[in-house]
Amino acid sequence: MSATTLGPRPLAPSSGQLVAVGFSTALLAAGAVGFQPAEAWAGVLTAGLYGVTLSLGGALFLAIQIVAGARWWFPLRNVPLRLARTLPVPLVAVGLALVFGLTTLYPWARPDASALVHAKHAWLNPPLFLARAVVLAVVWLALIGLLSRALRAMVAQPSAEGRRRLVRAALVFLPLFALSISVAAWDWGMSLEPEWFSTMYSVLLFAGTFQGGIAAVTVLALLLDRQGRLAAPLGDAARHDLGKLLFAFSTFWAYVWFCQYLLIWYSNIPEETGHYVTRFGDGWGALFWLTPLLCFVFPFVAQISQPAKRDAGSLYRAALVVLLGRWLDTYLLVAPSQGPVPAVPLGALAATVAVLAGMRLLWERDADAGH
């Protein structure tokens, strides 16, 4: 990677700067709540969901490499681990949105919900909804704690027993992750439009989580590699593997994204089309069609050749574009249910900066602790 692409500046600004950024954006978000509660809470939920998917995507990356017995990722093993350990920050944002934005964001939580929505009361009622969110958070944090302890023990003192424990932790994580991300998708995303339903919805969030995790790990690994802060320098082969993962799972995301669209487009039943009608109108259309360009077309075309996957600069750009696309996709999951497109999505941007800054604080704390 040439010096001009990334610049020579070190990754870590002072914690004080980060706190300032976080505080000011939180203030901004709080201000927005007063004016436009729906837009503001949608922004906080977007930011939280974005952070949760990136962080869980890191954990998923980790668990899959462990179960597969892969060794190529050892130089960058700290990256998915630290990424997974930033999960508490976005969980707090999601929690805030769910607790304080519940009636603003979710029509089923309002007394004037339609009869169609009321029929789903057994699943969609505030106490059970919030309890499920707590269970999800506890399960994720516990599993990531388990993975992280097992991996660190294994790195500190490799042993056959330690390896078995690590693989077992990853094997517990994987199925529970698939289940829990589906519940999160139904609860936090799909129930924003409670009359609408799609069986592909949770698969789509799963695919997005995987894609986002790979992109985030790639960007962070390349940045740290440039500064020589990885356990070992990344070789051509390791970059090639990251590039292949990014390429493959961008395609997988597009496959699932199109599957949901195609099924609904084909049958063209009003109870199913609402989701897309919302996203084609009120100015959302351009953003909606931009998402597959960022999440699929760009990484697919830019990363199709082997040299492009091995080139740090090209790989970095593609992963960064995917990360942008992931944000847009998450935003479009949430915001269109709350009204027409805002001129500037101030609430969502502010909340995202705050969440990412907070995640970075946790990351730096981990790095300072020498992990």
Q: Which is nearer to another protein, 134 or 304 (CB)?
A: 304
CB of 264 to another protein, least distance (A): 10
Q: Which is nearer to another protein, 243 or 345 (CB)?
A: 243
Judged by CB under 8 A, which stretch of 27-35, 123-131, 204-212, 304-312 contacts another protein?
Answer: 304-312
CB of 97 to another protein, least distance (A): 33
Size of the site for another protein (CB under 8 A): 14
CB of 329 to another protein, least distance (A): 19
CB of 74 to another protein, least distance (A): 12
Cβ-proximal residues to 187 (8 Å cutoff; 6+ apart), any chain: 129, 132, 133
Residues 59 to 78: which contact another protein by CB under 8 A? 72
Residues 147 to 206: which contact another protein by CB under 8 A? none
CB of 69 to another protein, least distance (A): 12
Q: Which is nearer to another protein, 256 or 354 (CB)?
A: 256
Q: Which is nearer to another protein, 235 or 340 (CB)?
A: 235
C-beta of residue 73 within 8 angstroms of C-beta of residue 358: no
> Which residue among 119, 164, 304, 340 contacts another protein (CB under 8 A)?
304
CB of 72 to another protein, least distance (A): 7
Q: Which is nearer to another protein, 97 or 256 (CB)?
A: 256
Whole-angstrom Cα distance, residue 349 to residue 226?
28
> Which residue among 237, 277, 293, 301 contacts another protein (CB under 8 A)?
237
Output the six-digit token pair for 63: 């668990």
Output the six-digit token pair for 138: 């506890």
Q: Which is nearer to another protein, 271 or 368 (CB)?
A: 271
- First-last CA distance in the chain: 26
CB of 235 to another protein, least distance (A): 8
Q: Which is nearer to another protein, 135 or 277 (CB)?
A: 277
Q: Which is nearer to another protein, 104 or 303 (CB)?
A: 303
Per-residue x/- track, 239-278, another protein (CB under 8 A): ----------------x--x--xx--xxxx----------
Q: Which is nearer to another protein, 199 or 268 (CB)?
A: 268
Judged by CB under 8 A, which stretch of 61-69, 113-121, 134-142, 298-306 contacts another protein?
Answer: 298-306
For residue 306, state whether it binds another protein (rule: CB under 8 A).
yes
> Which residue among 142, 305, 339, 368 contacts another protein (CB under 8 A)?
305
User: How far is residue 104 from each of residues 100, 135, 323, measured CA to CA in Å?
Assistant: 8, 23, 28
Residues 216 to 235: which contact another protein by CB under 8 A? 235
Q: Which is nearer to another protein, 72 or 100 (CB)?
A: 72
CB of 304 to another protein, least distance (A): 8
CB of 196 to another protein, least distance (A): 19
Question: Residues 319, 325, 345, 113: is their CA dihedral positive or negative?
Answer: negative
Q: What is the 3-state secondary structure (H, E, C) of the chain?
A: CCHHHHCCCCCCCCHHHHHHHHHHHHHHHHHHHHHCHHHHHHHHHHHHHHHHHHHHHHHHHHHHHHHHCCCCCHHHCHHHHHHHCCCHHHHHHHHHHHHHCHHHHCHHHCCCCCHHHHCCCCCCCHHHHHHHHHHHHHHHHHHHHHHHHHHHHHHHCCCHHHHHHHHHHHHHHHHHHHHHHHHHHHHHHHHHCCCCCCCCHHHHHHHHHHHHHHHHHHHHHHHHHHCCCCCCCCCHHHHHHHHHHHHHHHHHHHHHHHHHHHHHHHHCCHHHHHHHHHHHCCCCHHHHHHHHHHHHHHHHHHCCCHHHHHCHHHHHHHHHHHHHHHHHHHHHHHHHHHCCCCCCCHHHHHHHHHHHHHHHHHHHHHHHCCC
For binding to another protein (CB under 8 A), which residues are involved? 72, 235, 237, 255, 258, 261-262, 265-268, 304-306
